Amino acid sequence: MVTEFVAEYAKLLVSYPDDIAVSVKNLEENYNEITIVANAEDVGKLIGKEGRMINSIKTVISGCKAKGGTNYRVNVESKK
């Protein structure tokens, strides 16, 4: 559920939506890391000025934490 939301939301923000890939790693019990891989030109759009865009994504995901009890960390990487 969370990965689908992050992928669809990220695709709305970028110039190259086909390059968006989202993966989730389970680091510990109740702790996951979400990685958004985007085109190098779109990384800045996902992070936003002063990190506002990525912080808004994190805020929405924190609502999922309240429901399911799982903590999430969000990273943005450029496509290699």
Cα–Cα dist 5/40, whole Å = 21
Structure tokens that stand for 68 in this block:
């399911």
Q: Percent of the chain scored above 70 by pLDDT? A: 95
Question: Residue 23 sits in which domain range?
Answer: 2-78
Contact at 8 Å (CB) between 57 and 34? no
Residue-wise pLDDT for 30-66, tens only, equals: 888 999 999 999 999 999 999 999 999 888 888 877 6
Provide, rounded to the nearest whole percent, the portion of the chain with pLDDT above 90: 56
Q: Please tell me the predicted confidence (pLDDT) of residue 78.
A: 92
Q: Is residue 79 predicted with pLDDT exceeding 90?
A: no
At 38, which CATH number? 3.30.300.20
Q: Are strands 31-38 and 21-28 parallel, antiparallel or unpaired?
A: antiparallel
Number of domains in the chain: 1
